[in-house]
A and B are shown apart, each in its own frame.
Chain A
């Protein structure tokens, strides 16, 4: 676990995202904070809300984040005032969440803080830049992997994916799911600059767009991304080279397309980033094998996977087996959050 530090060393902003609640994401965060003690000056914030006292569903104790004196952290006013460090207010950001304005503060003593940052990509970026301006070495962003959050780890330079026994009672299922998520998150980035520029233009205007051979494009107003399949099928023709989709791309959409047309073949489906892909292994495989392609605008750089063999539901995997199997399936480092330090 200690080599997690060398993995994140080259990056200024790092996000930590969990496959599910209770997989040990906060433990990873605390671990990094512990290990960087005296070394790096850290900044902390989060996407959405996390780090609650007790989890409402399982009622398990969730670790709060214990920070070192000097840490800069950004959280909403309600949680800022609740934190038990001696706190200095550096800036009030004018960014509001349901739990109040985001406050940037400095811990003047060690102690516990709870993080709840803004939920939109641009705002997280703004907050993270503000934290950097206060002179920190690294910003850790506590992330989430959920359909409900708009912000994604693509705003940070590196991402740590956290998985664990809480995901399923079957070890194989945990491993399959984690591998699949990693595959989705690591979806290849579109490299054609002109296409990227056009795609960004489309996303500003509409939820759906089509780029043609001659680099002209068309946008379609769709209320939700869920009903987009109909419009995609209608608009696919020989001249389309890219389909640009804002928001999530789901199994349902791909299935509808595969069922109603074969014109998707050799076209590239562009989504914002890998967190927008809510696709099962089966559907994705069918789509790709029959010639469909998916790329992203913003890549997510997953630098390692952390595993937590203990489940809060009362069972536990053999950490050695878990580690080995996981390592066998992915080509990035896998680390155990619960003490393989000795």
Chain B
């Protein structure tokens, strides 16, 4: 079973994911291999949240030290290949030894900063011994060469080399120069042989520390990625979720993708508050009413939480789920060559199998929209009824109000219910744009206690947009006569 089956771009996950910019290759690896926490990993997830909370706290309180940390992080190069090479008995070259020396230097500097920042849960090994090994003359410099201090013999060879080079410099006779250069070449070969011996010994010695290096790769990646997660949480004022085994509840949650998009156009995102018990919860409301965004936002936030991120809300609680599914009307299955409806059915079957065996969250966004309304209604109603039996969270958005049974939760988008239509009409005449309606639209959800009157937002919107009056009249009559014909 897949843990989640979601179009990550559609729900706005890609948008936040792209904002994570780890500084090291190790952090990038963490980003690439996000971990979906499972039920039996509750302790780990709680620890992850606690550590993230600490980093957020420290980042808010002492930004300067984090600037220093990031400066050091940027200096780390990927030496994993070199470490695994020397572990396998290969001889490292000078450039690799240089990189390892610098890694040790940066590791030690980062270690001090971590201590200063009080990030006690990041355990970085000291690599002082390896640094000393690569700094035999105690110069404490980031540069490297095969130092003469490594071997008396090397020192002698190099002195010989310098001697002959001096002779070459002062010799004028081309023929003698050629002879001297031949001799120099022999010394160069001696030098290289001795250097190789030293590189072999150094590589072997470094290989003893490979575990410490590997632990540091892990720790650096962890710190790097935690900082990115913390920055994201601060940017959108995200909250640490409560792990509650019995319900899903979000207070004032937002979707950064939609929020930023609206802001760019000078508009606000209306935060969404919703409580979802086990079984089926239905959201109804007019078109353009933001039902789809509600589903996407809840899905996004549940996913974020399960990946160890803080959640974009004022308050959030949910249990650790076995799976998170999101099925939307624009789901396409191009690869399997099926129509939208066919693809939906296959997906729905997977979901039905999944809820039998696990505790999950399923968002169904206007499923069966593509079919004729009578059948569509019947399918959605049956689906709601069937899935209501299981101990999972099923959130359904639909414009068929009467699919809701009394034992299901029901939310409605407030929509245009409380709007002064005369005022809206005037505004519309002035600006003549659908956007005006969107401005009047109240996107908040209200819990519906009993089946109330069918909302008439669709008809109202049609009127506002100047839809043919006769058709509207006829539609109103049909509604009166057969209120709930769907039943």
Binding site for B on A (CB under 8 A): 37, 69, 77, 80-81, 84, 86-90, 92, 94, 101, 103, 106, 108-111
Is B144 touching A109 in the complex (CB atoms < 8 A)?
A: no
The one of A89, A94, A108, A111 that contacts B95, using a Cβ cutoff of 8 Å: A89
Q: How far is the CB of A135 from chain B (nearest CB, A)?
A: 13
Q: How far apart are the CA atoms of A108 and B98 in the complex, in Å?
A: 16
Report chain A residues within 8 Å CB of B112. none
Report chain B residues within 8 Å CB of A109. 158, 161-162, 165
Is B77 touching A92 in the complex (CB atoms < 8 A)?
A: yes
Asked if B477 lies at the interface with its beta carbon under 8 angstroms from chain A, I say no
Write the chain B residue with the least CB distance to A34: B169
Q: Interface residue tally of chain B, by bracket?
A: 20 to 34
Is A86 touching B158 in the complex (CB atoms < 8 A)?
A: yes
Q: How far apart are the CA atoms of A20 and B172 in the complex, in Å?
A: 31
Is A86 touching B77 in the complex (CB atoms < 8 A)?
A: no
Q: How far apart are the CA atoms of A89 and B97 in the complex, in Å?
A: 10
Is B143 touching A90 in the complex (CB atoms < 8 A)?
A: yes
- Nearest 5 pairs of A and B residues by beta carbon: A88-B145, A110-B165, A89-B98, A84-B188, A89-B144
Asked if B486 lies at the interface with its beta carbon under 8 angstroms from chain A, I say no
Is B145 touching A80 in the complex (CB atoms < 8 A)?
A: no
Report chain A residues within 8 Å CB of B145. 86-89, 108
Write the chain A residue with the least CB distance to B145: A88
Is A92 touching B99 in the complex (CB atoms < 8 A)?
A: yes
Report chain A residues within 8 Å CB of B93. 81
Asked if B218 lies at the interface with its beta carbon under 8 angstroms from chain A, I say no
User: Chain B CB within 10 Å — which of A81, A87, A94, A103 has the most?
Assistant: A87
Binding site for A on B (CB under 8 A): 77, 93-95, 98-99, 143-146, 158, 161-162, 165, 168-169, 184-185, 188, 191
**Count of A-B contacts judged by CB separation below 8 Å:** 46
Write the chain B residue with the least CB distance to A108: B145
Is B168 touching A110 in the complex (CB atoms < 8 A)?
A: yes
Report chain A residues within 8 Å CB of B99. 92
Is A87 touching B165 in the complex (CB atoms < 8 A)?
A: no
Q: How far apart are the CA atoms of A125 and B94 in the complex, in Å?
A: 25
Write the chain A residue with the least CB distance to B94: A89
Write the chain B residue with the least CB distance to A103: B95
Contact (A92, B95) CB under 8 Å given A86-B191, A108-B145, A111-B188: yes
Q: Would you give 27 A-B contacts (Cβ < 8 Å), ordered by A?
A: A37-B169, A69-B162, A80-B95, A81-B94, A81-B95, A84-B185, A86-B161, A86-B191, A87-B145, A88-B143, A88-B144, A88-B145, A89-B95, A89-B144, A89-B145, A90-B143, A92-B95, A92-B98, A92-B99, A101-B95, A103-B95, A106-B143, A109-B158, A109-B165, A110-B169, A111-B165, A111-B184
Q: How far apart are the CA atoms of A37 and B165 in the complex, in Å?
A: 13
Write the chain A residue with the least CB distance to B97: A89
The one of B94, B168, B184 that contacts A87, using a Cβ cutoff of 8 Å: B94
Q: How far is the CB of A144 from chain B (nearest CB, A)?
A: 25
Q: How far is the CB of A39 from chain B (nearest CB, A)?
A: 14
- Give 20 A-B pairs besides A89-B145, A94-B77 with Cβ atoms closer than 8 angstroms: A37-B169, A69-B162, A77-B95, A84-B185, A86-B146, A86-B158, A88-B143, A89-B95, A89-B98, A89-B144, A92-B77, A92-B95, A101-B95, A103-B95, A106-B143, A109-B162, A109-B165, A110-B168, A111-B165, A111-B188
Q: How far is the CB of B160 from chain A (nearest CB, A)?
A: 11
Q: How far apart are the CA atoms of A79 and B123 in the complex, in Å?
A: 39
Q: How far apart are the CA atoms of A103 and B188 in the complex, in Å?
A: 21
Report chain B residues within 8 Å CB of A108. 145
Q: How far apart are the CA atoms of A37 and B169 in the complex, in Å?
A: 10
Report chain B residues within 8 Å CB of A84. 185, 188
Q: How far is the CB of B285 from chain A (nearest CB, A)?
A: 46
Contact (A69, B165) CB under 8 Å given A86-B191, A87-B145: yes
Report chain A residues within 8 Å CB of B158. 86, 109
Write the chain A residue with the least CB distance to B147: A88
Report chain B residues within 8 Å CB of A69. 162, 165
Q: How far is the CB of A96 from chain B (nearest CB, A)?
A: 12
Q: How far apart are the CA atoms of A111 and B145 in the complex, in Å?
A: 16
Q: How far apart are the CA atoms of A208 and B98 in the complex, in Å?
A: 45
Report chain B residues within 8 Å CB of A88. 143-145
Q: How far is the CB of B417 from chain A (nearest CB, A)?
A: 50
